[in-house]
Amino acid sequence: MALSFVIEPSLPGFNFENSGRNVALEDILNEGNAKAPTPLKTGTTIAGVVCKDCVVLGADTRATSSEVVADKICCGAGTAADTEKTTELLSSNLAIFSLNSGRNPRVVMAMQILQDLLFRYRGQIGAHLILGGVDCAGSHLYTVGPYGDMDKVPYLAMGSGDLPAMGILEDGFRANMELDAAKTLVRDAIHAGIMSDLGSGNNIDMCVITRQGVDYIRPYEESVYKDKRQRRYKYKAGTTAVLGERVIPLELVHETVQKMDIA
């Protein structure tokens, strides 16, 4: 007996098959004088600085979904899922290159991989990325947009709080800065974005990249604005009536143990 449908394996990478469906739904809603849902406004502040023999990156930790704070330990500019999956794809490609060649990839190679990936989808991936690193050619800092546009800069700020952060960077940046001065500058830039933008907030995270490795400082500075609950929200048992209750006991029917072959 033939099956009425065939289960196809999911393809790797991003899939935008629902784009056509969304366009058709918008046409139907417009014909019925209904309003299609609008995209949610999100916000964050990220910054980076090239200093002496290293690169310092910083970000706030607030992820917003319109007026709602969705996450307090997330960093990135753009759609959270897109930025996460894009960086995972980049990391896997660089790891494969290192395994095949036996050497570390250069920063410009990572930038070109991001460019090819984002340009392929013509802006449908909402990822605004800051790419920094140190290799045999020195310290590098790139900005890569959702359409694959690229620019190499000595300092950079992105996100909804980029304007106040960029003002701090332009005023305080100096060539060949020491590490401590660069960390202070990035912290002040992220703090300016937090204080001037409602979509940015909570803690400040930092990443220091040198030839020896990467140092993640989480958090570099904790938020001084911590709210306290004014009331207790625990209700007594029986406050809400239980309409019905059904308990189904589970019984283990068969158990097997598989041993892993480590030979």
Catalytic residues: 44
Residue with tokens 């013509």: 122
Query: Would residue 77 count as lying in a domain?
Result: yes
Length of the chain: 263
Query: Would residue 250 count as lying in a domain?
Result: no
If one compares 94 and 29, the residue with the highest pLDDT of the two is 94
If one compares 263 and 27, the residue with the highest pLDDT of the two is 27
Number of domains in the chain: 1
Query: Would residue 146 count as lying in a domain?
Result: yes
pLDDT at 47 over 90: yes
Please provide residue 217's backbone torsions phi and psi, each rounded to the nearest 5 degrees: -110, 100
- The CA distances from residue 69 to 4, 125, 198, 262, in Å, are 44, 22, 10, 46
pLDDT value of residue 249: 87
Local structure of residue 152 (DSSP, 8 states): E
Give the domain range for residue 111: 45-219
C-alpha–C-alpha distance, residues 215 and 228, integer Å: 32
Amino acid identity of residue 194, one-letter, is: I
Compute CA 68 distance to the chain's CA centroid, rounded to the nearest angstrom. Answer: 17
109: confidence class by pLDDT, cuts 50, 70, 90:
very high
pLDDT tens per residue across span 198-248: 888 888 999 999 998 899 998 898 887 776 777 777 888 888 888 888 998
pLDDT value of residue 224: 79
Contact assessment for residue 144 and residue 118, using Cβ atoms and an 8 Å cutoff: yes
Contact assessment for residue 200 and residue 192, using Cβ atoms and an 8 Å cutoff: no
Q: What does the pLDDT average to over 36-55?
A: 82
Q: Note if the pTM is more than 0.85.
A: no
13: confidence class by pLDDT, cuts 50, 70, 90:
low
Query: Would residue 260 count as lying in a domain?
Result: no
Query: Would residue 63 count as lying in a domain?
Result: yes
pLDDT value of residue 215: 93
pLDDT value of residue 6: 47
Query: Would residue 62 count as lying in a domain?
Result: yes
Query: Would residue 10 count as lying in a domain?
Result: no
Q: What does the pLDDT average to over 178-201?
A: 91
Query: In the chain, at which residue ranges do the beta strands (DSSP E only) sit?
Result: 45-51, 54-60, 63-65, 68-71, 77-78, 127-135, 138-144, 150-152, 155-159, 204-209, 214-221
Considering only the C-alpha atoms of the chain, give the largest distance between any 2 of them, rounded to a whole number of Å: 74
Give the CATH number for residue 94. 3.60.20.10
Query: Would residue 170 count as lying in a domain?
Result: yes
- CB count in 10 Å sphere of residue 119: 17
